[in-house]
Copies of this chain bind each other. A is one copy, B any other.
Amino acid sequence: MDTLFKNVQQQKQVPLSEKVAKQISDLIKERNIGTGDKLPNEFELAESLNVGRGTIREAVKLLVARNCLEIRRGKGTYVTEELGRVDDPLGFEYVSDKARLAEDLYEIRMQMEPWIAGLAARQIREEEKEELQRRCDAVEEQILAGVDHYEADNAFHKYIAECTHNSVLPEIIPIITYSVQLFTRYKDPALLKSTRQTHRAIADAICAHKSAEAEHYMQEHILGNLQNIEHLRETLNAADKG
């Protein structure tokens, strides 16, 4: 009885479009519609889920907002490559104390990333080594060109996580490296130089399957950034007052 009552209540609270969004997302799984594939059209969906086309349209909008579907104008609705992964999953954009956020993220990176680098050194495959060095090159080129290397930096750290062959780590990296973008704006020449050097040392150690070295250089790299946090805090405080 209790459960029944709960179910009725829950059904009352969930809007129809939300329920249909769930049904569409189940359908994607059942029919094995993969990332990048086209979804059946509105008409077919309305028919197979037995709801109006307006409801389908609302449900599709929900799934677009959640990064599960994308509408390509004139072509139809497609399953995204990201399939439900969102850009800022923990809502960091809304955190007001960005300096504290950066400190907390660095505390986590300090624990996670040396371990990830060591794991990558043990697990990297022969055919991945060239790509790792290429991503290391990309960061270096952007630093030398004096442009913001945030995305290239993220791509480098993310690829190291991919070399671990743990399917979740590459998804966690963008979350914990969020703080990097708070730093790449400062063009402290000393930090930029040490970033280039330690990145290369990390890539070389991973490619040589030297896990202790990979771990050590990653530690050195993150510590270098950590030591700039005080500087960041001062700059942010100054910006708040300005």
Does A90 touch B at the CB level, under 8 Å? yes
Does A146 touch B at the CB level, under 8 Å? no
| Minimum CB distance partner of A169 in chain B | B108
Are A93 and B84 in contact, CB atoms less than 8 angstroms apart?
yes
Does A115 touch B at the CB level, under 8 Å? yes
Q: How far is the CA of A25 from the CA of B172 in the complex (A)?
A: 24
Interface residues of A (CB under 8 A from B): 25, 28-29, 58, 61-62, 65-66, 68, 82-86, 88-91, 93-96, 100-101, 104-105, 107-108, 111-112, 115, 166-169, 171-172, 175-176
Would you give 30 A-B contacts (Cβ < 8 Å), ordered by A? A25-B93, A28-B94, A29-B93, A29-B96, A58-B61, A61-B61, A65-B65, A65-B66, A66-B66, A82-B91, A83-B91, A83-B94, A84-B88, A84-B91, A84-B93, A84-B94, A85-B90, A86-B89, A89-B90, A90-B168, A90-B171, A95-B167, A101-B167, A105-B168, A108-B168, A108-B169, A111-B115, A112-B112, A172-B172, A172-B175
Contact status of A100 and B66, CB under 8 A, knowing A85-B89, A85-B90, A115-B111: no
